[in-house]
Amino acid sequence: MLDIIWGRENVPKELVPKVVMDSRIFFRKNKKPTWFEDPFVKEFLLQVDRAQVLFQEALLNYKGEGFSPTELSTGSKTLCCIRFEHNRIFYGGQLGDNCLPFLVRMAEERDIVILLEHYADFTPEDIAKGVIRCNGVIVDQDGYDDAFSDWSASTQEDDYEQKVYNCGL
Amino acid sequence: MNRKFITVDFSNGVDSFSIKLYSKFTCIFGLDSGKGKSKLLVDLLDGLVDKSCSVTSDSDIKVRIIDNVDLDDITSIKERRIYVLDEPTSANSKDLLEIYNTDHLFIFICRSLPFKNEYPYHNIYHLNMTDTWYTVSEGNLRMYKYPVPIDTIVTESYPDRSEHELVSKYFPNIIAARGRDRVEKVLRNLTGNVLALVDLGNIGRAYRILCKRCKDNENLYFYDYQAFEELLYYAPLLEQLPPVDSVDIFKYTSIETYYEDVLSLRTRSTDFEYVHGKPLAKPFLERHNFNAVFNSDVGKLLFTLLLNCGNMSKAEVYLRAQAGDKFDLLPTVAVADCKTKQDCDMLLQSLNVLN
């Protein structure tokens, strides 16, 4: 299942230490060569970044040039982190719409929690799989759109001036 | 339309792209990953070091590219700068608020801005990589063009407030969404030709879901104004009032708030006084002032639409077309009594108000 927390202000206090707002830094510090041997990882790297895995962290771009995983898109890095770091809540703002089908496929296999602060446009097919939960409830398209709009309407500026929301790296 | 903006040009010596800044925040985003958002910043930083890239504005304001949000750099600089930042959402809320409260302008390369930071529709750019550099394209909402007929108008405002209060006098089928974030829900299941009156100057995070509504309904259109208050501010009705030139739009995080403030300042202590959240001043709502309210650069499409598709009788439409600016000299009762073209021509002749 994919559980969505809308807005950093709604991350329960006990979960704040698990939140990773910047997966680029997390990826750089935590990636492992074996990550890139995973067929699923190879698949999304090809789709999202047009990158081929030659051997572990040796990658080839669409121009036939070698490059390192640190040059991957933030979306691919975030997907890698979600794939292998099961005890974290990653910031979904770093996932492009083309990453979402891969996120949903992972959510069909295990429970994932992400933090969102933008309208991530899941495809109707992905929503229909019934693995996306907002506020603990499995949502259809209307339910998902309602959850986003309700959260967007609920945020008040003075909340941010009075309190500090510090989701760590 | 005469909107003030600053142009920022990003060049690698071979190709370039430009973006326009209309207010404090501008957003360069990529819907998909792998489109070059992060790479753009790396290329700019590298290019500025080896002088292969330049980032300049057409104003006196210097442009600075920064990789990480460094408070000391930004908050200690008093002179206005334009900062280009990648993914500003990583910092904590207090730090970000301090940055936002400076006088600087920001170009964010990101997918979302935290909090309620608003940016206008015209400050949203989509980024794409080319073989030699990058290009940007503007937002994806479908803008209204006459003569598309409209079946339903949806307003962002509450019923009998703001644009709903005004436009409902001239258009029968109008729905008040009761807030920007409620508009998409109203639009979700509407069919037919729909015109949404949404403050594009404040669209912010609602942009993506409104794009989805445009994809779902090919007959959904948005009216191109920054805010309803922009329409009022530029109404010919206020011509006699001196404009407000002293307020800096770039100090505002929200263009809607800018127009509320300048409109309020301009109309203070006059018959046209505008107060946010209160009913409109009577002159705006008087039917004989229709031309004087709508017939401006900002309002002209709405003017034409309401004239031709609204609830005006054919006689009234004819009289307005013939009398032009002198329409308000015609007594309301006499206009209502006109049933035929002959009646109209007699009225126009009797009062000698033909164009």
Q: Which of B37, B116, B205 sits opposite A118 (nearest CB)?
A: B205
Average pLDDT over residues B54-63: 93
For residue range B274-310, list pLDDT tens digits in order. 998 899 999 999 988 898 999 999 999 999 999 888 8
Flag the least confident range among A37-46, A117-126, A159-168, B90-99.
A159-168
Model confidence at A121: pLDDT above 80: yes
Look up tokens 């980032």; give the residue.
B55
CB B40 within 8 A of CB B109: yes
pLDDT of A160: 45
Per-residue pLDDT, averaged over B174-200, amounts to 94
Q: Is residue B267 within 8 Å of residue B274, measured between CB atoms? A: yes
Contact B34 A119 (CB under 8 A): no
The phi and psi torsions of B303 (rounded to 5 degrees) equal -55, -50
Question: Which pLDDT belongs to residue B166?
Answer: 95
> Is the pLDDT score of B7 beyond 90?
yes
Q: Determine phi and psi for B93, rounding to 5 degrees.
A: -65, -40
Q: Which two tokens stand for residue B29?
A: 């985003």
Task: Check whether A167 has a pLDDT greater than 70.
Answer: no
Q: Left, alpha or beta for A149 (phi > 0: left; psi -120 to 50: alpha)? A: alpha
> How far apart are the C-alpha atoms of A9 and B109, rounded to whole Å?
22
- Dihedral sign, CA of B24, B30, B34, B36? negative
Q: What is the pLDDT of residue A169?
A: 34
Tokens 């035929």 found at: B340
pLDDT band at A164 (very low <50, low <70, confident <90, very high): very low
Least Cα distance to B306 among B349, A81, B316, B329 occurs for: B316
> For chain B, how big is the Rg over CA atoms in Å?
23
Residue with tokens 């909107």: B3
pLDDT band for B353, please (50, 70, 90 cuts). low
Res A163: pLDDT: 45
- For residues B79 and A80, give the distance between their C-alpha atoms in angstroms, rounded to a whole number: 42
What's the rounded mean pLDDT across residues B316-345? 85
Q: Is the pLDDT of residue A142 over 80?
A: yes
Q: Is B175 helix (H, G, I), strand (E, B) or coil?
A: strand
Instruction: Sheet containing B124-129: give its strands across.
Output: B62-66, B81-86, B105-109, B25-29, B124-129, B134-138
Helix (DSSP H) and strand (DSSP E) numbers for chain B: 14, 13
Give the whole-number percent of chain A exceeding pLDDT 70. 91
Residue B60 DSSP class: S
What pLDDT score does A58 carry?
97
- Using the predicted structure, report yes or no on whether residue A166 has a pLDDT greater than 60: no
Burial tier of B70 (Cβ tally within 10 Å: 0-12, 13-18, 19+): middle
pLDDT at position B141 over 70: yes
Cα–Cα distance measured from residue B122 to residue B201, given in angstroms and rounded to the nearest whole number: 8
Q: What's the pLDDT score for residue A57? A: 96
Structure confidence at residue B280 (pLDDT): 95
Q: In angstroms, rounded to a whole number, what is the distance separating the alpha carbons of residues B167 and B280?
A: 12
Q: Mean pLDDT of all residues in chain B?
A: 89
Q: What local confidence, expressed as pLDDT, does residue B332 receive?
A: 81
The span from the CA of B266 to the CA of B87, in Å, is: 38
What's the gap in Å between the CA of A94 and the closest CA on chain B?
7
The alpha carbons of chain A give a radius of gyration, in whole angstroms, of: 17
pLDDT band at A165 (very low <50, low <70, confident <90, very high): very low
Residue B114 has a pLDDT of 59
Q: Which distant-in-sequence residues (6+ apart) come within 8 Å of B46 by Cβ?
A: B52, B53
Residue of B nearest to A61 (CA): B34
Angle between helices A39-49 and A100-109 (to 10 degrees): 160
Please report the ipTM that was assigned to this predicted complex: 0.89
B89 pLDDT higher than 70: no
Asked which of B9-18, B64-73, B236-245 is least confident by mean pLDDT, the reply is: B64-73
> Which is more confident, A106 or B30?
A106
Q: Which residues of B touch A (CB under 8 A)?
A: 30-35, 37-39, 87, 89-90, 92-94, 97, 110-112, 114-116, 179-182, 184-185, 188, 205-206, 208-209, 212
CB contact under 8 A, B182 and A149: yes
Question: Is the confidence at residue A118, as pLDDT, over 80?
Answer: yes
Contact B224, B197 (CB under 8 A): no
pLDDT number for residue A168: 40
DSSP state of A18: G
Q: Are the C-beta atoms of B24 and B250 separated by less than 8 Å?
A: yes
Q: Which of B264, B328, B316 is nearest to B291 (CA)?
A: B328
pLDDT tier, B270 (very low <50, low <70, confident <90, very high otherwise): very high
Residue of chain B whose alpha carbon sits nearest to that of A154: B181
A75/B34 Cβ within 8 A: yes
Phi, psi of B46 (to 5 degrees): -65, -45
Mean pLDDT, residues A8-27: 92
The alpha carbon of residue A134 is apart from the nearest alpha carbon of chain B, in Å, by 17
Q: Give mean pLDDT, residues B116-144.
A: 89
Min CA distance, A31 vs chain B (Å)? 19
